[in-house]
Amino acid sequence: METVFLQTVEIWNWLIDHLIYINLILSIIIVFFQRRDPKAVWTWLLALYFVPVFGILVYLLLGQDMRKGKLFRIKEVEDRVRYSAKNQEEFLKSHDISLVSSLSRDYEDLVLYNLETSGSVLTVDNTVEIFTDGEEKFKDLRMELSNAAHFIHLQYYIIKDDEVFDSIIPILIERAKAGVEVRILCDGMGGRFMPKDKWNLLKENGVKVGIFFPPILGRLQLRVNYRNHRKIVIIDNRVGYVGGFNIGREYISKDTRFGYWRDTHLKLQGGSVLSLQIRFALDWNYAAGENLFRNMKYFCEDEDGSCLDFLGVVDITDENKHLGIQIIASGPDARSRQIRDNYIRLFSKARDHIYIQTPYFVPDDAVLTALSVAARSGVDVRLMIPCKPDHPFVYWASYSYVGDLISAGARCYTYENGFLHSKGVMTDGKVSSYGTANMDIRSFELNFEVNAVIYDEETTRRLEALFLEDLKVCKEITREVYEERSLFIRIKEQGSRLLSPLL
């Protein structure tokens, strides 16, 4: 015991003696070798020099930028997937965009941007069902899982050991014993409290389990800042789910801390399901080390075994196919902030209104400027956030940024009927984007996220109708209400806002 104590003292003394050199090396790395927002650079430098020892520890745990390393390279099969996108891009450039049914020429550049930057193929043979209540979503999910004939792929950021997961496990085991291939992918942070015996039970019954960035030495997570925040389910390439609901009792409104849980989840059918499948396969290949692309049966469109050539051109000229969707993704492995850039483009194109729902509103300068310019230009910008925090630090930072929007003429609301976890943008009743991404820097920069961009007026208007219905249980944050905040609240807001660039 005494030896360990002496060694600890020696390490501490060495750290103090060499503190200036350690700070200098880390400062050089932050300034010259990492692609960061200037505000984040200054915040990290201040942390290193004003709270040096603590700042070093926090940086080593949270602040490392892994984009330029080889960390995610195993996940890339971009050349294969991009072939499809390149062909479609050339087709769209040489034909009238009006051939794509209800897709307006106004959004042609956004479609092309998504094709060019990440190979997000446009599919137009889709149907969309919208879930806002957790009980209804999981009831429908259990029904579809029970009908699985070939494979089940589930990916959730959070899976908790409670009655919700317990209601799904028997179905997964039964389907696995019936010969259906079942895979579950969970984030290492989001599933950190799941007991090993529960995972082992699934594995023993034929279910494959993958953990994205698993913890080491119990629950120690060295990559805590990089989280796979995606929630995707694909069943037989026949149906897919994407949205905000995780697996846990709070998501079915059973947690008294949050009350009613208001979220948005999409059930997709059509070509967009294959796009979700490709997204799942990329993440699964990295986390589980199993290359799903080696077997095309996972990319079959029909039950008779005929496979859709996802490397070819998706038919976008059939007059019976009209609901356009692009599945877009972002994360620290991406070269661009695709979801963030889509939001900015939608904001700049809006001429009548912009509706936003998000549990966290911590935008970067580009997003905040785009929204402010839209509001000052006469566009009806409305933002809805929760009335209560699940993460107080982020909540107070959000409230600070709300003030900037109010000053620009936007209208901001707090959802008062429980907790708002819905994540989406709707513009002009024409295009909407819903999925897993929050309107915050973490989702734009660090989390692995996925959204569905929906180029369909009928679906977008349904989503907007739900938004307007939610306004009936909201309280508006007027300029007068905002300016009446106490000094203590203002200090918390500004402190949280100052620290928010620590990414």
State yes or no: is 470 an active-site residue: no
Q: Which of 137, 153, 231, 267 is catalytic?
A: 231
State yes or no: is 231 an active-site residue: yes
Across 387-417, b (16+ Cβ under 10 Å) vs e yields bebeeeebbbbbbbbbbbbbebbbbbbbbee
Distance CA 51, CA 23 (A): 11
Residue 453 φ then ψ, to 5°: -90, 120
Considering Cα of 305, then 311, then 312, then 318, what sign does the dihedral take?
Answer: positive
Residue 48 φ then ψ, to 5°: -65, -35
Do 261 and 253 touch, CB atoms closer than 8 A? yes
For residue 201, the surrounding DSSP H or E stretch is: helix 196-204
Helix, strand, coil in percent for the chain, rounding step 5: 50, 20, 35
Q: Is 145 exposed, middle or buried (0-12, 13-18, 19+ CB in 10 A)?
A: buried
Q: Where are the beta strands (DSSP E) in 304-448?
A: 324-330, 353-357, 361-362, 380-386, 411-415, 419-420, 424-427, 431-435, 439-440
Q: Which amino acid is at 16?
A: I
State yes or no: is 177 an active-site residue: no
| Residues listed for the chain | 503
Q: Which of 137, 153, 229, 267 is catalytic?
A: 229
Do 373 and 406 touch, CB atoms closer than 8 A? no
Do 76 and 333 touch, CB atoms closer than 8 A? yes
DSSP 182: E
Q: Which of 65, 236, 341, 440 is catalytic?
A: 236
DSSP labels, 291-307: -GGG-GGGGB-STTSPB
Q: Which of 267, 423, 430, 492 is catalytic?
A: 423
Residues 6+ away with beta carbon under 8 Å from 393: 496, 499
* CA angle (40 as vertex; 35, 41 as ends), nearest 5: 70
State yes or no: is 423 an active-site residue: yes
Residue 255 φ then ψ, to 5°: -105, 115
Q: Which of 160, 265, 349, 421 is catalytic?
A: 421
Distance CA 245, CA 232 (A): 10
Closest to 184 in 3D by CA, of 287, 105, 255: 287
Closest to 117 in 3D by CA, of 92, 83, 90, 82: 82
Q: Which amino acid is at 329?
A: A
Q: Which of 65, 428, 440, 470 is catalytic?
A: 428
- Residues acting as catalytic residues: 229, 231, 236, 421, 423, 428
